[in-house]
Structure 1
Amino acid sequence: MADKGDLGWRLLAGAAAFGAGFVARKTITIGWKQITGKEPPTNPESPEVALAEAIGWAVVTGVGMEVARLLATRAAAKRWHSSTGELPAALRSAADKVKNAGS
């Protein structure tokens, strides 16, 4: 069973990732409109969408969303570390886990 610290970290990281994903999606959509001059494809899997446009949208959103999630989770981990004095268990290295298990 997860302890309170683990649950707290999961909630914090999940909220940070969700918020970052929401903001990233809006930002990517606005950027796509400015660069291409048209709305992003709503269904890139459709044969009616040009293959280059579908692949471009998939790459831009995939990379953009993952980078946003990564940055948000790292910021949350930094905040967690500053308030608790240690990294969340999920982010500790194997050596740190062994060291802390012996204490």
Structure 2
Amino acid sequence: MPDKGELGWRLVAGAAAFGAGFVARKAITIGWKRAIGKEPPTNPESPEVALTEAIAWAVVMGVGMEVARLLATRAAANRWHKSTGELPSALRSAADKAKSVAS
């Protein structure tokens, strides 16, 4: 059973990742429209979508979403550290975890 701190961190990190994903999807879609000049594929798996377009959309969306999640989680971890004085246990290095167990 996770402790309150771990549960709190999971909620904060999840909310940050969700918000970042929402904003990133909108931004990526707008960027695609400007760069390509048309709407991104709504169903890249469809044979009616060119394979190159489907792959390009998958790569752009995958990288964009992961970068947004990473940045949001790091920002949330920095705020967590400033407010609690320590990183969430899920983000601490093995050496830091060993120190806290020994204390």
TM range (shorter): over 0.9
In the alignment, what sits opposite 1:72? Answer: 72
**TM-fit CA distance, 1:85:** 0.3
Q: What does residue range 78-93 of structure 1 map to in structure 2 within 5 Å?
A: 78-93=78-93
TM-superposed deviation, 1:11: 0.3
| 1:53 equivalent in structure 2 | 53
Q: Which amino acid aligns with 2:40?
A: P
Which letter maps to 1:15?
A: A
The percent of aligned pairs where both chains have the same amino acid is: 83
Aligned residues: 103
CA distance in 2, matches of 1:101, 1:14: 26
What's the TM-score once normalised by structure 2's chain length?
0.99
Query: Alpha-carbon deviation of 1:98?
Result: 0.6
Q: CA deviation at 1:43?
A: 0.5
Q: Kindly provide the CA deviation profile for residues 71-95 of structure 1, in whole angstroms up to 9, marking residues without a partner as x.
A: 0000000000000000000000001
The CA distance in 1 between the partners of 2:29 and 2:98, in whole Å, is: 44
How far the C-alpha of 1:46 sits from its partner, in A, is: 0.6
Matching of residues 1-103 of structure 1 within 5 Å: 1-103=1-103
Looking at structure 2, the residues matched to 12 and 51 of structure 1 have their Cα atoms a distance apart, in angstroms, of 38
Instruction: Measure, in 2, the Cα distance between the counterparts of 1:46 and 1:13.
Output: 34
Q: How far did residue 31 of structure 1 move?
A: 0.4
Once the 2 structures are TM-superposed, how far is the Cα of residue 22 of structure 1 from its aligned partner?
A: 0.1
Residue identity matched to 1:100: S
Q: Which amino acid aligns with 1:51?
A: L
TM-score w.r.t. the length of structure 1 is: 0.99
**Structure 1: runs of 5 or more not aligned:** none
